[in-house]
Chains A and B, each alone.
Chain A
Amino acid sequence: MEIRLENIQKKFSSVVAVHDMNIRIKDGSLTGLLGPSGCGKSTTLFMIAGLYAPTAGNIFFGDEAVTLLPPEKRGIGLVFQNYALYPHMTVLKNILFPLENMKIPKKEALKMAEEMADIVQIRDLLDRKPSQLSGGQQQRVAIARALVKKARVLLLDEPLSNLDARLRLETREEIRRIQKETGITTIYVTHDQEEAMSITDDIVLMDKGWIQQQDSPQQMYLNPGNQFTAEFLGNPPVNIIDGKITDSVLVVCGEKLCGFDGVEDQPVVVGIRPEAVLIGNGDIKASVRLIEIVGKDKIISLDLKGCLIRAIVSLDYDCNVEELLSFSVKHSGVFLFDKTTGARIKGFAS
C-alpha cells in the first residue's frame, strides 16, 4: 500500500511539530522515519496511524484519502515504544483482541492468531502473560498483534529502544525478516541512524519538523543534500570545518585540499567523511593529535594548522602522537555546504 502525505502540518497549541510535509512511501517498502528527539517523527507516525489529526494536509493510502478516518478504519498495525501489551491478558488473548473487535468467528480467529504466532516465532509462549516475557519476546507479540488483523500498513514507534544492545541487533534483523516475509509496507521510527541505515529500504530524515531528505540509506550517506544530513549520518561523524573556494580549489586552514570545478569563489562549510581522509597517500602534512581505538578501527585526529580532522584507519596502522603524516582526501567524501543555509554546493573533481 503506497502512502502519501500531502502538505501535512501539525500544530500543538502554538508549537509547530511538523511543517508542510510531502512524502511518498513505496508499496511494500520498509521506510525509516529518522531524526533527533523532538524532530516530529513520532508525531508524523501517529498522524499516519490516526491517533493525531493533522492541522492541515491530506494522507492517502493508495488512492484512498484516510485523513479523516479513525485509526481502526485505516487498516494499520501499530507497535508502540513500550509495546503496550495488555498486561492482564495472555499472549494469545492479546493477539486475538483486534480480531475480536472485527467480530471474526472464534475458530477462524484462533487459526489466524496461531499463524501469526508462527511467523514471529512465539508459538510456545501463547499461554504466558506479557510480564513473563523478555523484551524481545514482548516485541514479537506486539508485532503479531499489529499484523494479525491483516493490516495494510505496519507502523513501528522506536521499537528497539527498550532492548539491550545485543538484542537490538537480533530484533532488527527479525523485523526485517518479518517485513520481507509478509511484504507489508512498514514505517519505522527511530533516532538511531545506524539502525535505520542497516534495515530500511528508504529513509525520511527529519529535523525540527522539516523533512531534510528522503533517499535510500546508501544514497543519503554518499550524497547528503545538506549539512544536517551529512552530520546526522555516519559514525564516526563527518568532519565539519570552515573553508573557502579559491580558483576552483578548496582551501582549508591555508592548505589546498582538492580541486572543485564549477563552484564560484566563496566561503563554505566543508564536510569530510573520516574514511575519505587517505593517510600516507598524498602531500598534505598534518601532525597526529590523538589516537582512539574503536573495536577493529583506529580513529586518528590530525592537526592541520589548527583544524582538527578525524581519519579512520585499520587497527594495524602504526603511528604515534605528534608524528607528522601526509594525506590526501577522496573527492567523493568531501561535501561543500552553503555557509548560511547549509544547502549542499555541488562541484566536480578536477
Chain B
Amino acid sequence: MSIIEGRNTARGTVAAWVYLLPALIIISVFVFYPLIMAFRMSMYESYNFYKNVGTGFGFASFKRVLCDSDFHIAVKNTLFLSFVAMPVSIIISLVIALLISSIKKFQALFQTFFFLPYVTSVIAVGIVFRWLFHSNYGLINYFLGLFHIHPVAWLNNPKTTIYALAIYYIWGNLAFNTIILLVGVQNIPKMYYNAARVDGAKWGKIIFRITLPQLSPTIIFLTIVGFIASFKVYNEVYALFGDLGGAANSAYTIVFYIYRTFYGAGRMHIAAAAAVILFVAILCITIIQMLVSKKFVHYK
C-alpha cells in the first residue's frame, strides 16, 4: 500500500482523501460553512435571518459594534478576565500545586479534592455562587461582616458585578490549572533539587531558579489555553446573572454580548460582526504569545 509506504502516488492521494472524506464533510457542514456565513453576515448593513437575505454591503455593522457602549463594557470585562483573573488563577493554582506536591501523606486525596470543581457543572456551581454572593444571606458578606465591612451587593451593583464574575471565574479554573501544574511539578526530576541543595540554594531560590523554569512549558500552555478560554467566557455570566447579563449589562463579556445581540435583540449581522472581531483578536493574541514564549520558555 502506497499510503503505508508513505509515497505520494496518485492512487495514495486519492485513497487518503477518501479516508478523510467523512471527517471533512462533517467539518465543512458544521465548521467551515457557518464560519463563512458568519463572515458574510457581518458584511451586511441589515439582514433577515429567516430568509437569509441581506441588504447593503460594507463595514457598517463593524462600526455599529465598535461604537456600542455595551460592547465597550464587554471588551473591558473580557480584558479584565484575561489579564487579571486568568493570571491570578494560575498563580493561585501554582501555589496550591507546590503545596500539594510537598505533602507526603494524602497527596492523592488532595489531588482529588482539587479536581472536583472541574467535573462539577458550571451551572450548578453558579447557583451555589449566587447564594454565596447574596447581599443579605450570602456567606461572603457574612464573612466580610466579621471584619465590619458593609454588605456588598455583589450581583446587583453594576460596579461590583465584574468582581463577582472574576472570583467565580478564578475559582472555576483552579481545578484544571492545579492538576496540570501538579503533574508538571511532579515530573521535575528529584536530582535537580538534590543538586540545588548541595549547591546551597535556598528554598525561594530553588522555586524561582529550578521549579519555575522547569514548569515554564506548562505555565505557557495554561496561559494560552486560559487566554483563549477567558475570551470565550459566557457560561459563567449566564450562571451568575441569568439571561440579562447583570445590572445595566455590567457583566457582559464579548461572547455574552454576541449572544444577547443575536437572540435578545435579533440583530444577527451585528452579532456576526462582533464574532469576527473576537476571532481576529484571539488570533492576534495567540500569535503574539507564541512569539514571546519562544524567548522565555525552556523546552526539553
Contact = CB atoms under 8 A, between A and B. Distances in A.
B5 interface: no
B210 to A, nearest CB: 7
A86 B198 contact: no
A167 to B, nearest CB: 21
A49 B189 CA distance: 19
Contact of A87 (B194, B200, B202, B300): B300
Given A72-B200, A97-B201, A101-B205, A88 B195 contact: no
7 contacts: A72-B197, A72-B198, A86-B192, A86-B210, A88-B298, A97-B199, A102-B200
B250 interface: no
A247 B279 CA distance: 100
What are the nearest 9 A-B pairs in CB distance?
Answer: A72-B200, A88-B298, A101-B200, A84-B191, A84-B195, A98-B199, A88-B213, A78-B198, A71-B198
A16 interface: no
B214 interface: yes
Interface in B171-215: 189, 191-192, 194-202, 205, 209-210, 213-214
Interface residues of A, number: 24
A87 B298 contact: yes
Interface of B: 189, 191-192, 194-202, 205, 209-210, 213-214, 216, 298, 300
A145 B201 CA distance: 13
Contact of B199 (A87, A101, A131): A101
A77 B197 CA distance: 11
B191 A101 contact: no
Contacts of B192: 84, 86
A43 to B, nearest CB: 14
A169 interface: no
A80 interface: yes
A101 B201 contact: yes
B209 A97 contact: yes
Interface in A74-91: 76-78, 80, 82, 84, 86-89
A51 B205 CA distance: 18
Contacts, number: 60
A70 interface: yes
Interface in A135-157: 145-146, 149
Given A82-B191, A84-B192, A145 B199 contact: yes
A71 B199 CA distance: 8
B300 A80 contact: no
B43 to A, nearest CB: 48
Interface of A: 49-51, 70-72, 76-78, 80, 82, 84, 86-89, 97-98, 101-102, 131, 145-146, 149
A149 B205 CA distance: 17
A85 to B, nearest CB: 8
A49 B198 contact: yes
Contacts of A70: 197
Given A72-B198, A72-B199, A98-B200, 5 more contacts: A80-B195, A82-B189, A87-B298, A97-B196, A97-B199
Nearest to A46: B194
Contacts of B210: 86
Contacts of A102: 200
Contacts of B191: 80, 82, 84
Contacts of A71: 197-198, 200
Contacts of B300: 87, 131
Contact of A77 (B198, B209, B298): B198
Given A80-B191, A88-B214, A51 B197 contact: yes
A97 B198 CA distance: 11
A101 B202 CA distance: 8
A88 B191 CA distance: 14
A59 to B, nearest CB: 15
A146 B195 CA distance: 9
A231 to B, nearest CB: 32
B198 A51 contact: yes
A89 B216 CA distance: 13
Contacts of A77: 198
Nearest to A145: B199
Contacts of A89: 213
Contacts of B197: 51, 70-72
Nearest to B214: A88
B213 to A, nearest CB: 4
A76 B199 CA distance: 9
Contacts of A72: 197-201
B59 to A, nearest CB: 47
A89 B298 CA distance: 9
A81 to B, nearest CB: 8
A6 to B, nearest CB: 23
B194 A80 contact: yes
Contacts of A82: 189, 191
Nearest to B195: A84
A101 B201 CA distance: 5
Contacts of B198: 49-51, 71-72, 76-78, 146
A149 B298 CA distance: 26
A46 to B, nearest CB: 8
A12 to B, nearest CB: 15
B63 to A, nearest CB: 48
